Amino acid sequence: MAEGAVAASCAGVAILASFRERRRVTRHDPDAVGWVDWNTVQMLALIGAAVALLVLAKGQ
């Protein structure tokens, strides 16, 4: 049951990271660099969601 919550949370973080990456790409001031690599955050969140879903499926 907790694995489903973890998977949903990871999916939410991945969606948030995709929006933040899109905002970073389309910003008006290219010199205003951020310190978060949103592509890495998104990929790690998607991997976390996949692992949590696999654990959830294996447990049933």
pLDDT computed for residue 17 by the predictor: 96
Task: Tell me the pLDDT band of 31, cut-offs 50, 70 and 90.
Answer: confident
Helix (H, G, I), strand (E, B) or coil at 33: coil
Domain range for 33 is 2-59
- Indicate if the alpha-carbon torsion angle 38, 40, 41, 45 is positive or negative: positive
Looking at the 3D structure of the chain, how many domains does it have?
1
* pLDDT tens column, 32-57: 888 899 999 999 999 999 999 999 99
Q: Write the burial class of residue 35 (CB in 10 Å: 0-12 exposed, 13-18 middle, 19+ buried).
A: exposed
Task: Tell me the pLDDT band of 11, cut-offs 50, 70 and 90.
Answer: very high
